[in-house]
């Protein structure tokens, strides 16, 4: 099985690929394939460090990769961060004679007629499209019908924090009695940092001991850093950049906030739920699916007042926050474990592969 | 098709040479790479859809393999071979096999006891020109041997240091020593001298920069092999052999056979490393072995190279037949 992406910055998507490959290792031998971009190389390194097989390809000269697929692969599973990614990969997979699966990590967001047409064309080379949330599934099937589409909810293998909460907080300069509000998301407009920045002073007005910690990289990072300083919020907001120790940061946090405008099924919410940390999310498809309709701390997207109110509500009512966190942990265990996602994905692969009797020697890659 | 699963220990320059060949074989699967530099293992793994490891121990414990290529610098030999032998895996190892003769002898005994298939990278044996030389020498055995490795100093810093590379005779000229053994037979006595000049562009270089060894062969033939790394270009690597009515000059890319009718030069054809790797893989896959240099065979060459170093150091001739 080859899990491939040409996404330039496969962050959450890359994590998902690694989780899927590792969780399926009992049934399928997976190779992680990525383009020769900086982000792609980072993904390959993480995959190799996790003991997975890795394959690099040149995104604009895919012929050698196609040859390699023809020789070694049984199935190609393309992971697309957004609808316009991965089309060339699906085409060469089909041309290599392989069953092709494609996972959409976001809902249908294409607005340009050219991109929409390209997407329709791409479906011809895909045997099955996996969507990672019900909302995303609906957004695709309302346009393209249900035939090609499958719903496999995202799942994660929660990583355990190795550090002590007290040490981690002190390394971040966060006092014991402060309320640490953590956001882990790429710095792109999609993630809604701007409404969060606007919400920060409103939260501070009511919960003065709240401290915001933002983790991630992305195009908006420098600008938001400047805006935090200009708004005189540098004492309340810390931008950490990329961090490999998110489980530790989660264990130090009192609340996780994800202010996104749209999402597939956000991994960071699943991680927070698994870790039993209360979350504030926006009322958008994938996020609501993660935390559940009954979740008490939901805000309208791109609405700083509403976001601030939800954060204040969570921080000022520890009992309600604890109950919501426990409900989140149970919900995670029931629905979002990597093992369930891997089993469903593996079943989908099996349905596309030749049966052993018709092809006695299934190749190992 | 059932592919032979190969793992690499060491993913540097000489490993790349073998990878360029092995990737052409459709019965081989390059499945794992270990290197002390993890990024180098990763780069190789990402070329082939393989796994990367930071140590040979992880590679051997985590991956199911049919054979291993060991492509590590001279000073690094030891633990990798022991671990591979303990696993009972056939292996191909690059020359020189070790700097420590006792260790190489210990390994050779273990390999013999386990009946393992081994190959060593003395690829000159696979030159088609060397085969032609062998045919010529069957009728007229060589009486005088004159060998050369007259070259620049290689860039890797480990090469500059006697305790890491073993010096030029052990690291490079060993190919010529091996070729002389292959074409003329066993060596019974060596007497060597060596000299050193500091080289400004190679700070810390402590290997002999010139060395020469006289050899006596069991056949009665005699000869000399000279080495230098004082040049800034490759001048000559090769072996000249003289017999009754025959002068023969071999380099790594051509052969000249002079029987008194001009000095015709013929270029070598094909890639000797391709043939070397093919023979090793075929043997691993169960075909009767055509491997031209096993570990035991390489050990005989290596003994001579180390004896040359010893003689140069002590000023005494070394009698190999007595060992």
Nearest-Cα distance to chain A for B242, in Å, is: 49
Output the pTM of the full model: 0.83
Chains A & B: contacts with CB separation below 8 Å: 44
Please classify residue A194 by burial: count the beta carbons closer than 10 Å to its beta carbon, then call 0-12 exposed, 13-18 middle and 19+ buried: middle
CB contact under 8 A, A72 and B29: yes
Chain B contacts in chain A segment 108-167 (CB below 8 A): none
For residue A48, give the nearest of B29, B48, B51 by CB distance: B51
Q: Could you give the ipTM of this predicted complex?
A: 0.82
Contact indicator for A298, A321 with CB cutoff of 8 Å = no
Dump the DSSP string for B236-296.
EEEEEEEETTEEEEEESSEEEEESSS---EEE--S-HHHHHHHHHHHHHTTSPP--S--HH
CB contact under 8 A, B46 and A51: no
CB contact under 8 A, B51 and A53: yes
> From chain B, which residues contact A within 8 Å (Cβ)?
1, 26, 29, 31, 38-39, 41-42, 45-52, 62
Per-residue pLDDT, A365 = 43
Q: Are strands B210-217 and B187-195 parallel, antiparallel or unpaired?
A: antiparallel
What DSSP designation does B154 have?
P
Which residues in chain B have Cβ-Cβ distances shorter than 8 Å to A51?
51, 62
Q: Is B30 helix (H, G, I), strand (E, B) or coil?
A: strand
Domain regions of chain A by residue span: 2-157+338-352, 165-335
Nearest-Cα distance to chain A for B7, in Å, is: 13
If you measure CA to CA, which chain A residue comes closest to B54?
A49
pLDDT in tens, chain B (323 residues): 689 999 999 999 899 999 999 999 999 999 999 999 999 999 999 999 999 999 999 999 999 999 999 999 989 999 999 999 999 999 999 999 999 999 999 999 999 999 999 999 999 999 999 999 999 999 999 999 999 999 999 999 999 999 999 999 999 999 999 999 999 999 999 999 999 999 999 999 999 999 999 999 999 999 999 999 999 999 999 999 999 999 999 999 999 999 999 999 999 999 999 999 999 999 999 999 999 999 999 999 999 999 999 999 999 999 997 55
- The dihedral through the CA atoms of A343, A349, A355, A360 has a sign that is negative
For residue A48, give the nearest of B26, B42, B48 by CB distance: B42
If you measure CA to CA, which chain A residue comes closest to B49?
A55
DSSP element (H, E) containing B223: strand B222-231
d(C-alpha A314, C-alpha B176), whole Å:
78
Please name the residue ranges forming H helices in chain A: 12-23, 38-49, 63-72, 87-95, 113-123, 134-144, 165-171, 193-206, 221-230, 246-252, 267-275, 285-291, 304-316, 318-335, 338-352
CB contact under 8 A, A54 and B45: yes
d(C-alpha A193, C-alpha B221), whole Å:
83
On whether the A2-157+338-352 domain is CATH 3.30.1330.10, my answer is no
Which residues in chain B have Cβ-Cβ distances shorter than 8 Å to A71?
26
Residue-range domains of chain B with CATH: 4-123+274-291 (3.40.50.720), 127-269+302-319 (3.30.360.10)
Nearest-Cα distance to chain A for B177, in Å, is: 41
CB contact under 8 A, B51 and A51: yes
Which residues in chain A have Cβ-Cβ distances shorter than 8 Å to B29?
72, 364-365
Place of tokens 């060593």: B120
Task: State whether residue A59 sits within 8 Å of chain B by CB.
Answer: no
d(C-alpha B29, C-alpha B13), whole Å:
20
* Reduced DSSP (H G I as helix, E B as strand, rest coil) percent helix, strand, coil of chain A, to 5: 45, 15, 40
Nearest-Cα distance to chain B for A256, in Å, is: 34
Nearest-Cα distance to chain B for A55, in Å, is: 4
- The mean predicted confidence, pLDDT, of chain B is 96
For residue A365, give the nearest of B1, B47, B49 by CB distance: B49
For residue B49, give the nearest of A31, A49, A361 by CB distance: A31
d(C-alpha A66, C-alpha A95), whole Å:
8
d(C-alpha B180, C-alpha B308), whole Å:
14
pLDDT in tens, chain A (365 residues): 999 999 888 888 999 999 999 999 888 989 999 998 888 999 999 999 999 999 999 989 999 999 999 999 999 999 998 888 999 999 999 999 999 999 999 889 999 999 999 999 999 999 999 999 898 999 999 999 998 999 999 899 888 888 899 999 999 999 999 999 999 999 999 999 999 999 999 999 999 999 999 999 999 999 999 999 999 999 999 999 999 899 999 999 999 999 999 988 898 999 999 999 999 999 998 899 999 999 999 999 999 999 999 999 999 999 999 999 999 999 999 999 999 999 999 999 999 998 765 444 444 44
Contact indicator for B186, B217 with CB cutoff of 8 Å = yes
CATH node for A165-335: 3.40.50.2000
Residue B318 structure tokens: 């070394």
């Amino acid at each position: 099985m080859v899990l491939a992406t040409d996404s330039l910055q496969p962050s959450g998507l890359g994590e998902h690929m690694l989780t899927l490959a590792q969780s399926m290792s009992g049934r399928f031998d997976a190779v992680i394939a990525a383009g020769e971009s900086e982000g792609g190389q980072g993904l390959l390194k993480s995959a190799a460090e996790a003991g997975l097989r890795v394959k690099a390809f040149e995104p604009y000269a895919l012929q050698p990769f196609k040859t390699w697929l023809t020789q070694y692969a049984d199935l190609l599973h393309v992971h697309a961060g957004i609808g316009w990614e991965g089309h060339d990969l699906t085409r060469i997979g089909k041309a290599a004679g392989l069953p092709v699966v494609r996972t959409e990590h976001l809902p249908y967001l294409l607005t340009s007629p050219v991109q929409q047409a390209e997407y329709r064309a791409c479906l011809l080379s895909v045997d099955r499209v996996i969507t990672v949330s019900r909302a995303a599934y609906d957004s695709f099937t309302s346009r393209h019908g249900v035939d090609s589409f499958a719903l496999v909810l995202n799942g994660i293998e929660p990583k355990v924090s190795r550090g002590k909460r007290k040490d981690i907080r002190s390394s971040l300069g966060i006092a014991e009695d402060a309320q640490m509000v953590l956001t882990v998301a790429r710095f792109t407009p999609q993630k809604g940092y701007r409404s969060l920045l606007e919400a920060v002073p409103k939260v501070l007005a009511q919960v003065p001991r709240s401290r915001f910690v933002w983790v991630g990289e992305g195009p908006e990072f420098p600008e938001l850093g400047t805006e935090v300083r200009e708004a005189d919020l540098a004492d309340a907001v810390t931008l950490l950049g990329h961090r490999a120790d998110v489980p530790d940061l989660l264990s130090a946090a009192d609340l996780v906030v994800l202010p996104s405008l749209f999402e597939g099924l956000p991994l960071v919410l699943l991680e927070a739920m698994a870790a039993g940390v209360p979350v504030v999310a926006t009322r958008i498809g994938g996020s609501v699916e993660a935390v559940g309709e009954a979740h008490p701390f939901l805000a309208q997207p791109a609405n700083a007042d509403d976001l601030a109110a939800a954060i204040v509500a969570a921080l000022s009512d520890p009992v309600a926050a604890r109950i919501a966190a426990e409900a989140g942990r149970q919900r995670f265990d029931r629905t979002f474990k990597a093992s369930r996602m891997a089993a469903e994905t593996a079943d989908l692969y099996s349905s596309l592969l030749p049966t052993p009797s018709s092809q006695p020697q299934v190749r190992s890659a | 098709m059932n592919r032979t699963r190969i793992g690499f220990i060491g993913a540097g320059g000489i490993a790349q040479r073998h990878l360029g060949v092995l990737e052409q074989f459709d019965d081989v699967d390059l499945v794992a790479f270990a290197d002390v530099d993890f990024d180098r293992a990763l780069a190789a793994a990402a070329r082939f859809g393989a796994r990367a490891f930071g140590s040979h121990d992880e590679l051997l414990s985590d991956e199911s393999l049919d054979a291993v290529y060991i492509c590590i610098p001279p000073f690094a030999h030891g633990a990798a071979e022991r671990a591979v032998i303990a696993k009972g895996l056939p292996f191909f190892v690059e020359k020189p096999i070790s700097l420590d003769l006792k260790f190489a002898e210990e390994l050779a005994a273990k390999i013999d006891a386990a009946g393992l298939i081994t190959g060593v990278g003395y690829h000159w044996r696979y030159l088609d020109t060397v085969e032609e030389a062998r045919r010529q020498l069957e009728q007229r055995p060589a009486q005088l041997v004159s060998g050369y490795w007259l070259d620049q100093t290689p860039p890797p810093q480990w090469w500059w240091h006697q305790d890491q590379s073993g010096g030029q005779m052990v690291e490079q000229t060993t190919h010529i020593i091996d070729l002389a053994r292959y074409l003329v037979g066993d060596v019974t006595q060596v007497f060597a001298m060596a000299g050193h000049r500091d080289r400004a562009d190679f700070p810390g270089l402590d290997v002999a920069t010139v060395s020469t060894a006289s050899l006596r062969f069991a056949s009665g033939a005699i000869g000399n092999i000279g080495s230098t790394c004082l040049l800034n270009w490759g001048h000559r690597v090769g072996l000249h052999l003289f017999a009754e009515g025959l002068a023969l000059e071999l380099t790594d890319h051509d052969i000249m056979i002079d029987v008194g009718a001009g000095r015709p030069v013929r270029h070598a054809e094909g890639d000797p490393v391709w043939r070397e790797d093919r023979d090793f893989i075929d043997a691993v896959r169960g075909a009767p072995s055509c491997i031209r240099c096993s570990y035991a065979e390489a050990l005989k060459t290596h003994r001579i190279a180390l004896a040359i170093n010893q003689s140069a150091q002590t000023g005494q001739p070394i009698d190999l037949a007595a060992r």
